[in-house]
């Protein structure tokens, strides 16, 4: 279904020049017959976020994506926040319905949908998360929501990993460890899935990876890296060479984008169009 109506969308963050979102959404809007749907990068300094949010109302933006460093701070300026976003403590999508701004977190949807497409069943699995930052929270909630048997968080900062685990104790069996510790190494031996949520290995630092011994994993364990640039990180390449199945971050990025698009338009986009736009932007062949 096409439309000649003018609607504006954007992405709030600082910086936003590197974001693939404008490229992806513009391609999806054009393919769906929305030539007057505009998607605009909106660089916003932290101290000006309130005014930017009010600007979404004043300029009648239909919606906006939200990225670093505003995903948590923006929540206090919104009229409503979805249950998933409230638990995660972060918003990545804002929808404007007649001046009422509602925040959502589609990262958890993208994470779960990508695993579903990979035919991985989370229920009753033993999961290991690498990293204890903001990205880990959506992943952790997704695992708890789908009733993983246990979730182990490994990070260089054990206190941070433990604090994150305690935030989710009411939702499942979650523990935090120093990823150099003996206990963490033992937990790796029973993991069904390992998910990297750290930026280690992201372009341009492509020779980095979390300091974990993947050979400890049992046969068939899935190694999942939510980084999408490069699509195959050093972590995934190492896992593949050891014979483990792998999953890159492109699927999660596209599927969370699909869910944001649905929230904006009440329609589903052409995912292949979005994928082609992303890959051309990343120069993936």
Residue 28 CA to residue 271 CA, distance in Å, equals: 8
DSSP letter string, 39-72 = EEEEE--GGGHHHHHHHHHHTT-SEEEE-TTSTT
d(CA 104, CA 83): 8
User: Is 71 among the residues known to form the active site?
Assistant: yes
Q: Which of 7, 71, 234, 275 is catalytic?
A: 71
CATH class of segment(s) 108-248: alpha beta
Domain spans of the chain, in order of start:
7-105+251-282, 108-248
* pLDDT score for 285: 45
CATH (one of 3.30.1360.30, 3.40.50.10860, 2.60.40.10, 3.40.630.30) for 7-105+251-282: 3.40.50.10860
Reported pTM = 0.93
Q: Percentage of residues in the chain with pLDDT exceeding 70?
A: 98
Taking the C-alpha atoms of residue 99 and residue 57, their distance in angstroms, rounded to an integer, is: 5
**Tens digits of per-residue pLDDT, 89-138?**
999 999 999 999 999 999 999 999 999 999 999 999 999 999 999 899 99
pLDDT tens-digit readout, 57-78: 999 999 999 999 999 999 999 9
All residue ranges of the chain with pLDDT < 50 are 285
Same fold for the domain at 7-105+251-282 and the one at 108-248?
yes
């Amino acid at each position: 279904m096409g439309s000649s109506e003018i609607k504006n969308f954007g992405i709030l963050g600082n910086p936003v020049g590197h974001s693939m979102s404008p490229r992806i959404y513009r391609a999806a809007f054009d393919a769906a017959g929305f030539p007057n749907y505009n998607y605009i990068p909106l660089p916003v300094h932290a101290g000006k976020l309130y005014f930017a949010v009010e600007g979404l109302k004043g300029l009648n933006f239909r919606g906006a994506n939200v990225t670093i460093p505003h995903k948590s701070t923006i929540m206090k300026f919104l009229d409503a926040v979805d249950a998933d976003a409230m638990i995660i403590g972060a918003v990545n999508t804002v929808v404007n319905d007649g001046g009422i701004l509602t925040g959502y977190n589609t990262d958890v949807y993208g994470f779960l949908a990508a695993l579903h497409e990979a035919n991985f069943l989370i229920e009753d699995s033993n999961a290991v998360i690498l990293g204890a930052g903001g990205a880990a929270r959506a992943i952790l909630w997704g695992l708890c929501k789908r009733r993983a048997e246990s979730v182990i968080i490994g990070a260089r900062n054990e206190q941070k990993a433990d604090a994150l685990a305690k935030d989710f104790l009411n939702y499942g069996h979650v523990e935090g460890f120093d990823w150099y510790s003996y206990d963490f190494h033992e937990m790796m031996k029973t993991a069904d899935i390992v998910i990297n949520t750290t930026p280690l290995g992201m372009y341009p630092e492509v020779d980095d990876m979390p300091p974990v011994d993947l050979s400890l994993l049992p046969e068939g364990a899935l190694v999942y890296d939510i980084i999408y640039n490069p699509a195959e990180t050093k972590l995934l390449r190492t896992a593949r060479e050891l014979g483990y199945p792998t999953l890159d971050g492109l699927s999660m990025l596209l599927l969370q984008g699909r869910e944001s698009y649905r929230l904006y338009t009440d329609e589903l986009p052409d995912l292949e169009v979005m994928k082609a736009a992303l890959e051309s932007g990343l120069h993936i062949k």
